[in-house]
Amino acid sequence: MTSMEYLVLNLCDPTLRERSLAELSKEREMFPDLAPLLWYSFGTIAALVQEILRIYPALSPPTLTSAASTRVCNALTLFQCVASRPETRSSFIEADIPLYLYPFLRTVDKAQAFEQLRLATLGVIGALVKDENTKATEYLLKCETIPLCLNIMEIGNEPSKTVSTFILLKVLRNELGLHRCCDTRGPFYDIAFALQKRVNSPDERPSARLLRCIIQCYLRLLDHPRGHAVLKTWFPSVLQTGTFNDYLTDPSMQECLQQLLAKMEAGSPIRSLHFLRCSDNAIIP
């Protein structure tokens, strides 16, 4: 039995679980077959779900400790591993495992334990849509994930805001996601308002990574006729005045912004043929 198999087996033993969670989370990159082993080994996913459920009482009223947060985040890291692999992602979605995590995204407490919890949860959701998979996108839209991400873009710390915006971007990059979000019944205005607020905030300038995601979200929204029409009046002027020029040291970011400004000046949507040059997949923690 390999060390990986031994640690996975120990997840089903409550007395050994915490140490195994920590070890697997820390060394997961060394185990390329960890995701299928976690998913298909008997009782393992049930043990990880138990780790999620055990901290529900600490969410409201907010009594989550740092130690408890670290432990559940280790379990979430293993779920992220499962969500990121094509051979286990579909089963992960079909089992509705993400629904167990959504209460974490609804928390509003700004203590470090909760920030850590939200970020780890966003990492799982981001792994589902990292390759812009249609099945994962449809699932997130059905589960009202976008409103939760928009809320975290408002209340979260910088890493959580960045990953939330990354998830929004990945949903928009999928054709189904773009059309659902820009539909008259979709969250288009909420998205436009959240992006504008992040850019225009006088007290908190976005980081370079967050700004990259915001620019690419705008680029993608402009691919839709409704997005192009509405953003003519909702587009933040600070992106046109050179306010963020000191952030744009990366040539690919400069290219993205110039393409965005050119599309804003155009009279009709112009398909974004090159915006994928702005690499963003490294954002997922």
Q: For the chain, what percent of residues have pLDDT higher than 70?
A: 93
Please state which CATH number belongs to domain 139-285: 1.25.10.10
Question: Which pLDDT tens digit goes with each residue over 143-169?
Answer: 999 999 999 999 999 999 999 999 999
Name the one residue in this structure whose structure tokens are 């559940």: 72
Domain locations in the chain as residue ranges:
1-129, 139-285
pTM beyond 0.85: yes
* pLDDT score of 285 more than 70: no
Of residues 263 and 76, more confidence is placed in 76
Q: Is the domain defined by 1-129 classed in CATH 1.25.10.10?
A: yes
**Contacts (Cβ under 8 Å, ≥6 apart) of 284:** 80, 123, 126, 127, 130, 163, 166
Tell me whether domains 1-129 and 139-285 share a fold: yes
- Rounded Cα distance between 235 and 225, Å, is 15
- Rounded Cα distance between 196 and 262, Å, is 18
